[in-house]
Amino acid sequence: MNTREIMLAVLAAVTLLMVISFWRFHRDTLVQFNALDLIMENGRVSKIAFAFMVAFAVTTWLIVYLAVTGKMSEGYLTSYGAMWVAPLVLKVVFNKNDIPGTTSTSTLLQQTTEVTKP
């Protein structure tokens, strides 16, 4: 068994463990985690969110595959970082919550009625 086969076996095992963990968290009633939230908006499956998650999974798998097979180049890694990592880092560093479509506002009204007995 060569190094490439060992790395692919480790990658498959880690992926399987992650899928099992996600499924267990999703099924556990005590944990506030729902895996479907990754592709849902307003209680319905979002085409854009689903496409985003599929594109993220495919490009991540491609990067890992290129690294395992020894074909990774600076261009591939830079492209991946520009697509997926840089926007997340910029959001954390600059905390841009004023981007249209990314904020929500909730208003809570409370009415109290006092009743006195005669």
Q: What is the pLDDT of residue 73?
A: 92
Boundaries of every domain in the chain: 34-94
Prediction pTM value:
0.56
Q: What is the pLDDT of residue 74?
A: 93
Q: How far apart are CA 8 and CA 14, in angstroms?
A: 10
Q: What is the pLDDT of residue 98?
A: 54
Classify the C-alpha dihedral 24-28-30-35 as positive or negative. Answer: positive
Q: What is the pLDDT of residue 78?
A: 92
Low-confidence ranges of the chain (pLDDT < 70): 96-110, 118
